[in-house]
Amino acid sequence: MYRKYHDPFEVDCFFHIYNRSINNESIFLSDRNYKFFLSQWKKYFANQLEIFAYCLIPNHFHFFIQVKTNNISLLEDSFKRFFSSYSLSFNIENVRTGSLFQKGYKRIKVDNDDYFTSLIHYINNNPIHHKLVSKYENWPYSSYNSIVSDKPTLVQREKVLDWFGGKEQFIRFHKENIVYEKIKDVLD
C-alpha cells in the first residue's frame, strides 16, 4: 500500500510525525539539547496537539499526536517556527551553520487500530531498536517512562493506558516480541 508522507492535517485525527538529521548527524548532543527540544515542542504545540507517544534519539525523532486545533494553517506555521527555533539554537550552541533537519518532516495519518497500537510500541522501542539501551525505562527521552510513572506529563497517559487496558497490559505488550508487519509500509 502506498502512503503519502505529507498527509494533510485534520482536526481530531491522529498522525505520526517524524524527521531526521541531514547526513545522519546528531541533532541532540547533550541532555540540554533534548530538554530544549521538548520545551520548544511544548511552547509551540501544547495548545494545538495532544501527545500519545514520542521518542528522541541522537539523529531523529518520532511523535504520535492528535490534532486539537481547527486552525490548520497556524499549526503548519508552528511547525516551521519550531524547526527554525531549534535549529538556530543548536547551530549557535555548536558553532555550526546550515540545515539541521531533512526538508519536509514526515506526517502520516494514523487511520486504524492496528497502526495505533503498533505505532506506540514502535516509537517507544526506537532506543532499543537502535541499540542505545536494552530496556525501555533506561531511555529518558521517550514517552515510555512518562506513561508508566505517576509524574506530571504532557503525554496523554490515561488515554494510552486505557487503549492498552491498563498499565500492566501496556508494560506486558511492550515486553512481547512485536512484529511490525501490519505497519511496515509506513515505517522508514
What 3-state DSSP class applies to 3? coil
Q: How many CB atoms lie within 10 A of CB 144?
A: 29
pLDDT value of position 1: 41
Residue 2 counted as domain residue: no
Residue 1 counted as domain residue: no
d(CA 152, CA 148): 11
What cell numbers appear for 146 in the block? 512518562
User: Mean pLDDT over residues 126-149, rounded?
Assistant: 94
Contacts of 178 (CB under 8 A, 6+ apart): 118, 121, 122, 125
d(CA 125, CA 148): 14
Residue 138 counted as domain residue: yes
Q: Which domain CATH number covers 110?
A: 3.30.70.1290
Residue 8 counted as domain residue: no
User: Mean pLDDT over residues 170-187, rounded?
Assistant: 72
pLDDT value of position 186: 53
Ramachandran angles phi, psi of 73, nearest 5°: -65, -35
Residue 105 counted as domain residue: yes
Give the residue from 101, 103, 108 showing the smallest Cα distance to 184. 108
Domain count, the chain: 1
The one-letter amino acid code at 91 reads: N
pLDDT value of position 103: 83
For the whole model, what pTM was predicted?
0.92
Under DSSP, the state recorded for 154 is: S
Distance of CA 90 to the CA centre of its chain: 19
Residue 9 counted as domain residue: no
What does the pLDDT look like over 73-129, one tens digit per residue? 999 999 999 999 999 999 999 999 999 999 889 999 999 898 899 899 999 999 998
User: Mean pLDDT over residues 144-166, rounded?
Assistant: 96
Give the residue from 164, 188, 183, 147 showing the smallest Cα distance to 51. 147
Residues 9 and 76: beta-carbon distance below 8 Å: yes
Residue 7 counted as domain residue: no
Task: Print the domain residue range for 73.
Answer: 14-186
